[in-house]
Structure 1
Amino acid sequence: MNVSATIRERRSIRKYKTTPVAQKTIDSLVNQAAALYQADTEEAPQWRSICYDTPEGRHSLADSMIAKVKGSTLGKLLPGKMLDLIKKQVTETPAHLVFIAESGSTQRQRDENYAAVCGIMQNVQLLGWELGLGMLWYTDPMLNSDRFKAEIGLRIGERFAGILSIGYFEKVPRARKRTPAEQKWTALEGDVSGDAAPHRLSSQSGSAHKTASPRVSSQSVLTLLNDAVWAPNDGLREPWRFVYAGDGEAADRLRALDGDASAAFLLVVAKEEPDPHKREEDYAAVCCLVQNFQLLAASGPWPVRRSMPAWIYDAEQCKLFGVRPQERIVAVLALGGDRRPSPSASANQVSPAVNITHC
């Protein structure tokens, strides 16, 4: 896969050919996507998916998707034709993949499971694009109904990550611009201890910023980010921000916190919307951007290790690195250092028989 080109060329697709998508193709895509996901955890992230690729399955899914609207006051006011159009769109799309992050005993574990699902969904989209398969990541609030939860078997503590509607396509929608990473970039400089820490930040392009190691320049990180920002995000909200520490006390503190001797660090931060649905969508979008970055860096001169250390759940620790109110760190990317395999790399190469249920 030409990672850079595919990330930039991929589009959300809403209209598909009637050509069926073979079950073995879907299984292969999910398997490959899971194998590409690398998480720095001792245990493989837990997730599962359900594929609706039969006429009966798609009809059942469609009925559950419109149940909330159909049974509401709004549904009674809407013309029947509108609900029929929604159902027609679902039933005529060749396949739908529902992705679910399984529960965890801690918030950190639950987030790791959810981040893994989002990264795998992005991989499925990229791998599918090279086969001429288009997809739409769907998470409308309309799906928040008992009927839909029962349809997908959502259990207590699990998180619904979204539906990937899948089909072969003919027309590629026009690209919409992304904000350059330089405009969402903050370089940490100097001392990050004490109350003055948030004021010792310099928002800049980073082109002249010196790092602790010549192997990882801020400009090389920005080059990858400017491809990685071509991640799916609803309404092009672009909810991400990047905090870079290449040298000085900021980087030293991160090395101490993470027990990592990497040359530089990139904190990928998400804005937290007041609306819970938008907040979940934005978190997923940032996870996709992180996955893009890791794929782009995989063949590069310096390795990237992704982690979600315990300290990112401590608001006071995050504040030291300039994380603002209504923001959270989604991932800490350690850049450079030793190129070592993720502990969960082999565990993530799962069999579709374990993770995919076909309906």
Structure 2
Amino acid sequence: MNYEGKNAVEKSIMGRRSIKKFKKDPVDIDELIELLNVAKWAPNHKLTEPWRFQLYVDEGKERFIEAFLTSQERDGNIPDKAQNKAAYFRDIPLHLVVIMPEDSRKKRWDEDYAAISAMIQNFQLAAWERGIGMIWRTNDWTHDPIFKDAIGVKSDEKIVGTLMIGYPKHVPKPEERKDIRNVLTVIDE
């Protein structure tokens, strides 16, 4: 990736990667809170600050994992694939569930979702600058009422994502992105 002529913000945006393999080293919770306090400066129409968070760490991760497994149960059995994913989840230092209110007003919902998405991106970039990686997951099970209920997310709330956080064990190479000129229409008259 060519960073020539790029400023620090541009390099950070282009250099950040979604991390799937993490070291077992703990991430300092106070540092994580500090990063969320930086991320909250995202564009936010009418300063609704439409977010709340649940952080699962150490033994608390088991509640998150049990909720996941319960949501995967079929006819009293938990598929091997779900058991494997649960083992993977146990090895990740932190799980942050990002939650927003489900506002019935379309405009407010759109504004809130945009704000929380921008906040998550800010958080990812700020963490990346400190060597902390994450992946923003929006799996089907995060929409499952069984999972949501098990972790205390109300029926009038949306899980925008589960952020799996830790120090990268492996940083993937960048994947090619389309040139914006291929999807940009310039209207000059």
Give the TM-score band, short-chain normalised. Answer: 0.7 to 0.9
Where does residue 17 of structure 1 map in the other structure?
A: 23
In the alignment, does 2:43 pair up with 1:38? Answer: yes
Where does residue 4 of structure 2 map in the other structure?
A: none
Q: Give the CA deviation at 1:88.
A: 1.2
Task: Indicate if the aligned counterparts of 1:134 and 1:168 stay in contact, CA closer than 8 A.
Answer: yes
Measure, in 2, the Cα distance between the counterparts of 1:14 and 1:89. Answer: 10
Measure, in 2, the Cα distance between the counterparts of 1:186 and 1:72. Answer: 52
Matching residue's letter, 1:125: Q
Instruction: Name which one, 1 or 2, has greater alpha-carbon Rg.
Output: 1
Q: Give the CA deviation at 1:42.
A: 2.9
In the alignment, does 2:126 pair up with 1:120? Answer: no
Q: Give the CA deviation at 1:72.
A: 5.4
Task: Indicate if the aligned counterparts of 2:63 and 2:151 stay in contact, CA closer than 8 A.
Answer: no
Measure, in 2, the Cα distance between the counterparts of 1:10 and 1:100. Answer: 23
Q: Give the CA deviation at 1:124.
A: 0.9
Consecutive unaligned residues of structure 1, counting only runs of 5 or more, are 191-359
Q: Aligned runs of 1:314-325 on 2, under 5 Å? A: none
Where does residue 182 of structure 1 map in the other structure?
A: 181
Measure, in 2, the Cα distance between the counterparts of 1:96 and 1:15. Answer: 14
Where does residue 134 of structure 1 map in the other structure?
A: 133
Instruction: Report the more deviating stretch, 153-162 or 19-28.
Output: 153-162
- Count of equivalent residues: 183
Measure, in 2, the Cα distance between the counterparts of 1:181 and 1:72. Answer: 48
Task: Indicate if the aligned counterparts of 1:30 and 1:124 stay in contact, CA closer than 8 A.
Answer: yes
Distance change (3 Å), C-alpha of 1:127 and 1:59: same
Consecutive unaligned residues of structure 2, counting only runs of 5 or more, are 1-6
Deviation digits for residues 5-50 of structure 1 (CA, Å, limit 9, x no counterpart): 1111111111111111111011011110012x123x3343321111
Which structure has more relative contact order (CA 8 Å, sep 6+)? It is 2
Q: Give the CA deviation at 1:152.
A: 3.3
In the alignment, does 2:73 pair up with 1:70? Answer: yes
TM-score (norm 1): 0.48
Where does residue 26 of structure 1 map in the other structure?
A: 32
SS at match of 1:186: coil
Matching residue's letter, 1:25: E
Where does residue 52 of structure 1 map in the other structure?
A: 56
SS at match of 1:21: coil
Deviation digits for residues 80-113 of structure 1 (CA, Å, limit 9, x no counterpart): 3x33321111122100111011233511111111
In the alignment, does 2:1 pair up with 1:2? Answer: no
Task: Indicate if the aligned counterparts of 2:43 and 2:118 stay in contact, CA closer than 8 A.
Answer: no
Matching residue's letter, 1:42: K
Measure, in 2, the Cα distance between the counterparts of 1:162 and 1:111. Answer: 16
Matching residue's letter, 1:50: Q
Task: Indicate if the aligned counterparts of 2:39 and 2:126 stay in contact, CA closer than 8 A.
Answer: yes
Distance change (3 Å), C-alpha of 1:34 and 1:187: same
Deviation >4 Å, runs of 4+: none
Q: Give the CA deviation at 1:132.
A: 1.0
Measure, in 1, the Cα distance between the counterparts of 2:169 and 2:143. Answer: 32
Distance change (3 Å), C-alpha of 1:145 and 1:44: closer
SS at match of 2:186: strand
SS at match of 2:149: helix
